[in-house]
Amino acid sequence: MKKALFFLSLFFIAACSNAQVKYSSSNKKAIKLFEQGKNAPGETLDPITRQPNYRAGIDFLNKAIEKDPSFWEAHMFAGEYCEIIGDYPNAIAHYEAALSINPNHSPSGSTFFYLANLQQAVGEYEKSITNIDIFVRNRNANQDLVNQAYGIRDNCEFAIKSIKNPRTFNPINVGAGINTADPEYFPTITVDGKTILFTRRIDDDRVLGPMKEQEDFYVSELSNRIWGKAIPMPMNVNTINNEGAPTIGADGRSLVFVACPDGSGENYGEGRTGKGSCDLFYTKKLGTKWMNPINLPGNVNSSHWETQPSLSADGKTLYFIRGLRGRNDTNNSDIYMSKLLSNGTWSTPERLSDVINTPFHEESVLIHPDGKTLYFASRGHTGMGGSDLFVSRMDTKGNWGKPENLGYPINTMYDENSLMVTADGEIAFFASDRKGGFGDLDIYYFEMPEEFRPTKTLYFEGMVYDVTNKNPVPGKFQLIDIKTGTEVIVSEADKLTGEFMVSLPLNKEYALNVSYPGYTFFSQNFNMTNPNGLEAIHMDVPMVPITNSTPTLLANVFFDLGKSTLRPESFVELNKLFDFLVNNSTLSIEIGGHTDTRGDDKENLKLSNDRAKAVYDYVIAKGIEAKRISFKGYGETKPVIVDSEISKLSIEQEREAAHQSNRRTEYKIIL
């Protein structure tokens, strides 16, 4: 449940503690018990929490009320103490009793505000509105509380409407492979949906102090639609201290997480030094081994606390929560964003606009792999009360839109956070301690309502290898929006295995380039405006050494039908070819043009030659010496797929795709 925003005023407490104050009760035994109850929190510690003993105070105050049921001051203190320990129903009962005994005990009417706030927290929305309306009509009401009161009223009206119009919501426990009697929470998932990494709080006898528990990361793999038994991350990532709130890269090989290294030594892991409070740390997977985590390079970490990171699918943008130390508990965390710089460090973070951030808590931020849908939890936007889940979408100018509440019963009168949405946008994961689980917090999933889904994102995976010896190559990936020329994804294959995984948001056409020193660059075209039911694309990437004359396809060079004029979408690829020649200044190449076998042979030969020359002219105009480049049209003489094979294809679309693969532009190294 939500903690109330305000307790009783210090003025009232001080006044009641003054020996000269005349209490509403004349019962000496009740007054003595009241005094004992009022002082108990400051005189003893709770044996369980080791905090001020409010429970002992409540016991004394209840005994005072038994002696004099009309002792409204005892009800007020008992209500406040119940509120502090989270016993909201009894806090409400005491505040209601105090008001029924003396509705005018507070000239400002603030008790009506405190009562309304608690009633909102337990879902008594109609009663909360009634008491808010009484409070705001009071001419002596504190204006700051009045402003808060209108927000409570908006939340209650929203909640009432939402409950009358519920969303479809059927949460399902992910199962025993992940969930245990220990708490599991903060899930993060790879773009292929096959690997989930999460936080588990475990008992650990190595931990010093009375609480023998700490947080570690666990990983589970999906097989035959069942999550396998989760295993802990290696000991250079998991330590005897807390690791939490992880975000895993789209390819499953980068990990950013939060840790609070307030000391030094072996317990903190290799390089686990901090800059103040909790910091973000980074580790990368090479082959099957995770490297020792380091403090996130750059300017993200500060003397404040940074937590709950979310890494974009391209690995270039990091969203996270920053809490400002020393602030009031109701307004100390906002969502920030940092960019990866060319030197591998992270830029000075920028706070997201007030469209997203409020004067209250924002937390649990998630940037979806589509790069333009943001999910987060907030206590400041209108909702069911407390922490609700919201979604915001980025417009074409890069601005975030007004957040939408995910509605009831996804959001409830309880706190909601830790949302994780799959790349296809259809499934969301979250943590809950609802009945029917394995013990404490468990991880659940549900089908995301259509109106809150992001842009569907597929993935492209495979292995980069040397075409001559089949050895893996750690190729660098660049995915570019052909229409705008904007770089969408930057990634790289595993240095040891050559494996890669790259996200592909729908509704755009992309040029993909893979490069590595000593090789010609590989190109591919992905038209995701019509994915035809694809869920994923598997394709291995052959890299041709620059010592080899095997032709390399220019997959993103485009001409109109029957013409040799370059379309503007080709310029991204041709600029890449220009850069390749600049970076390999001793190489010479031949541009080759090819057509399919349909049409007149001579016309095809001329068309292919003209198209090869168009590429030649473009690169020469950019500044490459003419003596380093030649061009030649091959017409229909070197098909990738011969007509006899095409004729065997029964589907017209497949036959057309085969002819299209024969219509191509290539380049090869002249040895």
Q: Please state, in angstroms and rounded to a whole number, the distance separating the CA atoms of residues 159 and 414.
A: 12
Alpha-carbon dihedral 483, 487, 489, 493, rounded to 10 degrees: 110
Residues of the chain with pLDDT under 50: 1-19, 262-270, 327-330
CA distance 503 to 391: 21
Those residues with Cβ within 8 angstroms of residue 15's Cβ, 6 or more apart along the chain or in another chain: 21
State the pLDDT at residue 326.
Answer: 54
Cβ neighbours of residue 214 under 8 Å, at least 6 residues apart? 201, 202, 204, 207, 240, 241, 242
Residue type, position 480, single letter: I
Picking from 134, 30, 140, 127, the residue whose alpha carbon sits closest to that of residue 75 is 30
| Cα 27 from Cα 286, distance rounded (Å) | 75
CATH class of 550-671: alpha beta
At residue 62, φ and ψ (nearest 5 deg) are -65, -35
- One-letter amino acid identity for 22? K
What are 172's strand-pairing partners?
445
Residue 533 structure tokens = 């039911």
Distance CA 199, CA 186 (A): 6
Instruction: Write out the residue limits of the CATH 3.30.1330.60 domain(s) in the chain.
Output: 550-671
Nearest-5° Cα angle at 287, 284 to 292: 35
Pick the CATH number of 172-452 from 3.90.550.10, 3.40.50.2300, 2.120.10.30, 1.10.357.10: 2.120.10.30
pLDDT of residue 278: 84
Strand partners, 392: 374
Residues contacting 617, CB < 8 A, separation 6+:
none
Q: Collect all residues with Cβ–Cβ distance below 8 Å to 556 and sequence separation of at least 6.
A: 482, 511, 523, 524, 525, 569, 570, 572, 573
pLDDT for 51: 82
10-164: CATH topology is 1.25.40
- Tell me, what DSSP letter sits at residue 76? H
* Domain ranges in the chain with CATH number 2.120.10.30: 172-452
Q: What would be the CATH architecture of the domain defined by 456-548?
A: Sandwich (2.60)
The CA distance from 518 to 547, in Å, is 8
- Amino acid 656 reads E
d(CA 372, CA 314): 12
Q: Which residues of 30-67 are buried (b: 16+ CB within 10 A; e: fewer)?
A: bbebbbbbbebbeeeeeeeeeebbbbbbbbbbbbbbeb
Q: What share of the chain is helix, strand, coil (3-state, %, to 5)?
A: 25, 30, 45
Which amino acid, one-letter code, is at 210? P
* Torsion angle defined by CA atoms of residues 13, 18, 23 and 26, in that order, rounded to the nearest 10 degrees: 140
What pLDDT shows up at residue 272?
Answer: 72
Q: Quick one: which H or E segment has residue 338?
A: strand 333-339
Secondary structure (3-state) at 100: helix
Separation between Cα atoms, residue 27 and residue 441, nearest integer Å: 47
Give the tens place of pLDDT for each residue, 26-51.
999 999 999 999 999 988 887 767 78
Ranges for all domains in the chain classified under CATH 2.60.40.1120: 456-548
| Euclidean distance between CA atoms 400 and 371, whole angstroms | 12
The Cα–Cα gap between 654 and 636 comes to: 19
* Residue 22 CA to its chain's centroid (Å): 56
| Ordered strands of the 420-421 beta sheet | 172-173, 442-447, 427-432, 420-421
Residue carrying structure tokens 């502090």: 84
Task: Record the tokens describing residue 45, joined without a space.
Answer: 């510690």
